């Protein structure tokens, strides 16, 4: 292993400063506004939701990224500024202008992000009052408080740092994420911010982010809903002086570290799924191609019947079989495919495996984490997707969300 992973902590990243404060946008007893600053030598890469009803800050952030090199990220929690039309876009632009005026940069160098309730106007007045405080208190070592400020229904911080050595010098990667509900693969179904002090050209940085997202934030599902506000941003400050060039050992090591950090943050999101009690890996093997493997995995992970059985620790394997059978793949050989719960084979030759017992299945499902593995016997492609169970608390949390 060429890196060290530090779970649950946010090591300072040279060239990156942060601040958070209580703006009172929706919450009255906690920080709900965060600002990240990137060194002038830095580069930014980002991916956004594919939901066509994307939020105002997503629209503005994409426009600003196309027009300039970003220096600041402004993130608010409690109000998504989504479904708010032209007025919402204006508020997003005005919030960027507030930061720009305080720090002396161009408005297009500020990217806005929001998370929270959809369809409510985001008030500008709390931002006007809070932005000067943010700008005056930027510092490197406050990743934990920043991560707390962007939470909504999250019950825990989602932080991770990774350190590695390149050319005999240390490089740091630190990331934070928020997400608990409205989580499903279609870009990066949550908000995530990752920073490194490596020096990476923007096109290379963008490719590295997209590679990491495919196997992490884009491979999780809590409830099958894709948010209007999803975004994942990767910042490279360049402060370490370590240059990452494509097709080198250094680039491969950097990508590996970024991948593992992103997967850890994604795992933390699923662990904290609204009302979740179990974290379940869906692995589909021997598929004709990766697309069909993914379709089968998503059919299982998105099935309310499978997810409620997981919550009950009920080895109702027929629900898994039915989910596999309805996946829109070109062909499916029911007699050949096999399904396991961890190492317990539950399905073979088109029905219950002769060696399967209900007791063995239930033993697996009583664990906090386990794997549902499906072999399609169609080829060599495979995929993994991380999901959770669906509990009574998921309904309670979302029924009470606006009250």
CA atoms within 13 A on the CB side of 368: 4
297 with 185: CB under 8 angstroms? no
Catalytic status, residue 277: no
HEC profile for the chain? CCEEEEECCCCCCCCEEEEEECCCCCCCCCCCEEEEEECCCCEEEEEECCCCCCCHHHHHHHHHHHHCCCCEEEEEEEECCCCCHHHHHHHHHHHHHHHHHHHCCCHHHEEEEEEEECCCCCCCHHHHHHHHHHHHCCECCCHHHHHHHCCCCCCCCCEEEEEEEECCEEEEEEEEEECCCCCCCCCCCCEEEEEECCECCHHHHHHHHHHHHHCCHHHEECCCCCCCCCEEEEEECCCCCCECCCCCHHHHHHHHHHHHHHHHHHHHHHHCCCCCCCEEEEEEEEECCHHHHHHHHHHHHCCHHHHHHHHCCCCCHHHHHHHHHHCCCCCCCCCCCEEEECCEEEEECCEECCCCCHHHHHHHHCCCEEEEEEECCCCCEEEEEEEECCCHHHHHHHHCCCC
Catalytic residue among 115, 174, 189, 196: 189
The answer to whether the beta carbons of residues 162 and 5 sit under 8 Å apart is yes
Q: Which residues are catalytic?
A: 189
């Amino acid at each position: 292993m060429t890196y060290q992973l530090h779970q649950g902590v946010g090591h300072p990243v040279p060239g990156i400063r942060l601040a958070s404060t209580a703006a009172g946008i929706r919450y009255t007893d906690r920080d709900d506004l965060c600002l990240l600053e990137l060194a002038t030598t830095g580069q930014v890469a980002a991916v956004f939701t594919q939901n066509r009803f994307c939020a105002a800050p997503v629209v503005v952030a994409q426009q600003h990224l196309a027009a300039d090199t970003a220096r600041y990220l402004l993130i608010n929690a409690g109000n998504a500024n989504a479904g708010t039309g032209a007025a919402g876009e204006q508020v997003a632009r005005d919030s960027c202008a507030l930061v720009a005026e305080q720090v002396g940069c161009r408005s297009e160098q500020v990217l806005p992000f929001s998370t929270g309730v959809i369809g409510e106007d985001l008030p500008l007045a709390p931002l006007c009052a809070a932005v000067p405080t943010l700008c005056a208190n930027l510092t490197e070592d406050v990743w934990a408080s920043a991560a707390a400020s962007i939470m909504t229904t999250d019950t825990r911080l989602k932080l991770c740092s990774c350190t590695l050595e390149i050319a005999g010098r240390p490089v740091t990667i630190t990331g934070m994420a928020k997400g608990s509900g409205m989580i499903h693969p279609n870009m990066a179904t949550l908000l995530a911010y990752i920073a490194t002090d490596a020096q990476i050209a923007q096109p290379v940085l963008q490719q590295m982010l997209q590679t990491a997202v495919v196997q992490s934030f884009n491979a999780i599902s809590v409830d099958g809903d894709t948010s209007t506000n999803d975004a994942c941003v990767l910042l490279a400050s360049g402060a370490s002086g370590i240059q990452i060039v494509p097709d080198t050992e250094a680039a491969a090591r950097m990508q590996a570290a970024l991948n593992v950090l992103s997967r850890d943050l994604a795992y933390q999101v699923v662990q904290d799924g609204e009302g979740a009690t179990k974290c379940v890996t869906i692995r589909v093997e021997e598929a004709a191609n990766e697309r069909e493997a993914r379709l089968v995995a998503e059919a299982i992970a998105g099935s309310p019947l499978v997810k409620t059985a997981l919550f009950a620790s009920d080895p109702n394997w027929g629900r898994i079989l039915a989910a596999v059978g309805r996946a829109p793949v070109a062909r499916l050989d029911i007699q050949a495919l096999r399904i396991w719960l961890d190492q317990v084979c539950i399905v073979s030759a088109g029905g219950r495996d002769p060696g399967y017992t209900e007791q063995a299945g239930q033993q697996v499902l009583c664990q906090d984490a386990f794997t549902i593995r499906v072999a399609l016997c169609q080829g060599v492609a495979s995929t993994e997707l991380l999901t959770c169970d669906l509990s009574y608390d998921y309904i309670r949390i979302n029924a009470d969300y606006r009250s």
